[in-house]
Amino acid sequence: TVVTKSDTSPVTVADFAVQAMVLHDLHRAWPDDSFIAEEDSSELWTNPNLARDVQRYSQLPSLEQVMHSIDLGQHYKEWYRSEDDDKHDADDAATETQRKPQQEERPPRVWCLDPIDGTRGFLRGGQYCVALALLEGNGGVPTVGILACPNLPMDSSSNNNFDNNFWDDMESDNHSQRGCLFVASQGGGCYQLPLFVKDNEPLDSWR
């Protein structure tokens, strides 16, 4: 299922389902953290078939949990204010008592998620990724970055021939192991790991 947003960009069941799954698990692990993510649940409220598909693929037990988890990605609106917001309030004294917290009051930890970065690539069975980052402190310093690339061959990084056919060649390569996870942390280095491993295969062997 594909729907079109107001900016004409496509959004799929996978966008909603991935956002629901990731934010649900992050919120369960760190309930005091805040989140920024692309989607909200408004489309699901008006499209019951889409909502059912999202729940099925997200594997969350109830539609209420799906909606709540997706909307966690909109909580930044409670603490972030743009300059346009401030100018609007300054022009309308009646709303002055309803001002939201200023940007400097951002939570100390904010997760930023793009559930499907490259939706058109995803739709054609090509390259896309799930992109996640953790920002910490008042300045929003990136301390963790994760890219999950399900269709990227593990050995693609060893290919230095980045010509015009590079991505086409990778997408037509049916022999290499596919699925990469790139993980970086402040002071902890950067690693490429397989996204799919056997049950008895330790990840440390790939570091």
Give the phi and the psi of residue 36 in degrees, each rounded to 5: -130, 120
Cα–Cα distance between 93 and 91 in angstroms, integer?
6
Cβ-based neighbour number of residue 175 at 10 Å: 7
Residues of the chain above pLDDT 90, percent: 54
* Of residues 2 and 192, more confidently modeled: 192
User: What average pLDDT does this structure show over 25-46?
Assistant: 95
Cα–Cα distance between 50 and 14 in angstroms, integer?
11
Q: Per residue in 117-159, pLDDT tens?
A: 998 899 888 899 999 999 999 889 999 999 999 999 887 655 5
> How high is the pLDDT of residue 61?
96
- Strand 129-136 relative to strand 10-12, pairing: unpaired
> How high is the pLDDT of residue 91?
52
- Strand 2-4 relative to strand 34-37, pairing: unpaired
Predicted structure pTM score: 0.77
Cα–Cα distance between 70 and 61 in angstroms, integer?
14
90 has a pLDDT exceeding 90: no
Q: What is the 3-state secondary structure (H, E, C) of 115-145?
A: EEECHHHHHCCCCCEEEEEEEECCCCEEEEE
User: What average pLDDT does this structure show over 73-77?
Assistant: 92
The count of residues in the chain is: 207
Per-residue confidence band for 175, with pLDDT thresholds at 50, 70 and 90: low
Q: Residue written as tokens 């594997």?
A: 59
Q: Considering only 21-30, 31-40, 159-168, which range has the smallest mean pLDDT?
A: 159-168
Which residues, at least 6 apart from 180, have a Cβ–Cβ distance to it below 8 Å?
Answer: 147, 148, 149, 152, 153, 154, 156, 192, 193, 194, 195
- Catalytically annotated residues: 15, 119
Distance of CA 122 to the CA centre of its chain: 14
Per-residue confidence band for 1, with pLDDT thresholds at 50, 70 and 90: low
Cα–Cα distance between 193 and 41 in angstroms, integer?
32
User: What average pLDDT does this structure show over 186-203?
Assistant: 80
